[in-house]
Structure 1
């Protein structure tokens, strides 16, 4: 074998081996690309997605093509579009970055002042978009105006706040962590609900659009044989129904715009009616984290623990996987 041929064979081997190793590296990295949140914006036909990748990604909700990558240092735990204007509230965790309000066009950022340096995971606008609430890991509920100025800080006396949702018609916020706390902004009053006799971490909460009840989802505790619960509550905190059909924690949940269907993110994508009856169920293959409906209630977007972004139809059939 001549020297030139030997060199070509060696180079080919290095190239092939390198590609395989790079492929393994990308696959390993993707396994750690937890996508925590997905949020469908009806005002500009965009879907925001974020997680552990130090990047906010914006997709077209019409073509499903990637529109923009916006670098943000830290884990993006939740994104919430303003109900009227083209601006995005983003909760962050780690010491790398604080939660903020982002203009996706100009890229202008308004950093939100917070007492907790480790970050936040609960964020949301009220129905008019004039108030923004952030629940941090120290148990403080921080209320800001639309420009990001702090208005109130409420110590819920919880160890940390994991999820929140505003009442659809009133300035009342339900927050969850180790328990349920309901805060009335106008009256500046708060009261607590012990959701179950076992101590479990609550992860998510969503008011039905009619404002008459809300639903919470928790982590459960499989080591202690405490199943994750989906719990229905009246507006004043009366327990209406408990459901234990999930084999993994309820990471997120979202009502359809008309309030007739509840989509939940767990080891499967599930669809429930207003009474808590299971209508549809579809295995995703991975633990789902982020979830949201489009404005017409015809499609659902989910994100998962392996970095996948899936669009589903109302029958919970996969339509498309978004590429980035």
Structure 2
């Protein structure tokens, strides 16, 4: 059988066929890589210190996730600059699905308002993969503070301007923004003490070095042990864990909602099929009783959703928190 290519075949056609062959050869490795993913361990960068809500949620999810993917999933903490250090590391990593970020939604929705010269653009340089949890904040005070409910606390704050202090995981963190909402809506003043993470802030609240804190859930075990007083929830709804504890909206701070969504991101350009697979597997993990129990213990609520819905949530939060940041003139560390 004779080949269809002959000496009379036009040179242009020969050139086009040659280029098509080269293009096909270049596309094969990429397609094969996506088809065989994951073929090696996956790293999840948590952009906050160990012990905080982001770290605990990441570790709760990654253990069953590695079983589902058939590869080790290793957590690495890279805190600092309100999450920007870990966020930048992931944003500038290869977009191959082997480096992920676990972060509070604040790095995407809040940090651009705090840091006018960020070393990366979290909206353009990262893609949402999967939400993990809606994280509530709980207003807790040291046990020796002479108040027993939220009404007494607000009156005490009002009567003692500048005499109380509150700890946060850092400038612009969701607990910090919650406290600034409180100060604005209740017309009170307290001293802000920023820490490098929620865990050290909680330790100082337990030790009495600060008077109160909006806790992202890591201190609820101490509330149950009687080491802290839980006065209110900074959410639009009461917590299922503490149905008798009122929201701040209920006691007069109308519209008070400091909830944030924690979840996973990947470098922009990560293959869509890898993002889809990760989203599907993480959502399955979030549906398991063991992971739901771990997240609920933090006072959070598992929040499976699509990448598009997760991204839309960050956009909504950017508008509402951005207005607060501008009004209170809050700046990054």
Same fold by TM (over 0.5)? no
Bigger helix share: 2
Q: Which has the higher contact order (CA 8 A, sep 6+)?
A: 2
Q: Which structure is larger by alpha-carbon Rg, 1 or 2?
A: 2
TM-score, with structure 1 as normaliser: 0.27
